[in-house]
Amino acid sequence: MIAQIRPSELAQWLTHARQHGEPVVLDVREPHELQLASVKAEGFTLRTIPMGVIPPRLSELDPQQPIACLCHHGGRSMQVASFLQSRGFEHVANIAGGIHAWSAEVDPSIARY
């Protein structure tokens, strides 16, 4: 089962996740979406790999690191989180509501689209 965390709960998840290594927020949106809105890496490493190229770029991710997946509303990131888990990644979460919820719950300066 993939953990579902709201953006407002991310700080708590990061604290817990640190016992497994440096946490990563994996933004799986497309480059044009990143230009519209992006999060600031505060307390985590931010990686951006579009969903469609995760399989060929899987070796760029460490299966031991905790990874929280992010997209626009949470659907694509959930698919990526499930894919990672099926490939042996043990500490995976989905950021429910995506960057849209992040803007509403954490940082209203992030544009909604």
Q: Is 71 a catalytic residue?
A: yes
Amino acid at 104: A
Distance CA(103)–CA(83), nearest Å, equals 26
Distance CA(103)–CA(79), nearest Å, equals 22
Comparing CA positions, the residue from 48, 40, 42, 38 lying closest to residue 14 is: 42
Distance CA(57)–CA(21), nearest Å, equals 20
In contact, 28 and 50? CB cutoff 8 Å = yes
Catalytic residue among 51, 71, 95, 101: 71
- Catalytic residue ranges: 71
